Amino acid sequence: QLHLVESGGGWVRPGDSLTLSCTASGRPLNMYTMGWFRQAPGKEREFVSAISGSSLSTYFADSVKGRFTISRDNAKNTVYLQMNSLKPEDTDVYYCAAKRYGGSHYATDSYDYWGQGTQVTVSS
């Protein structure tokens, strides 16, 4: 079993930056492709970003491309989502997720493990 815990959420103003962390326990994180998703109340969970186990490949939703950066430190079993130039529409609960094999890194049902989520609020 892999246990994921997100941290770093909070309230920021438009244009500010925030870094989310996702720390894993239970298994080495380098075995997994890691993803970040977000969800607003009453809406479907949507893909934000993903990174391969080796960090060689990264993926971003069009809505965050150029503003968000994903990285990982396998030695620390942690994945990061650096969010810059935040907008009010980035307000959501952000979840990290892990998958081993197969499936699209954009699809929620490809991921086997999920964290509990961390709230990000962007408001003036």
- Give the C-alpha separation, 92 to 110, whole Å: 21
pLDDT at 67: 98
CB 20 within 8 A of CB 49: no
**Blockwise average pLDDT, block size 10, the chain, 124 residues:** 95 98 92 95 95 92 98 95 98 96 90 97 96
- Give the C-alpha separation, 92 to 43, whole Å: 10
pLDDT at 75: 93
Q: Residue 48 contacts by C-beta under 8 Å, 6 or more apart in sequence?
A: 35, 36, 37, 38, 60, 61, 64, 68, 81, 94
pLDDT at 103: 86
pLDDT at 116: 97
pLDDT at 101: 78
Distance of CA 85 to the CA centre of its chain: 17
Quickly tell me which residue has 């962390």 as its tokens: 21
- Give the C-alpha separation, 27 to 31, whole Å: 8
pLDDT at 12: 97
pLDDT at 55: 85
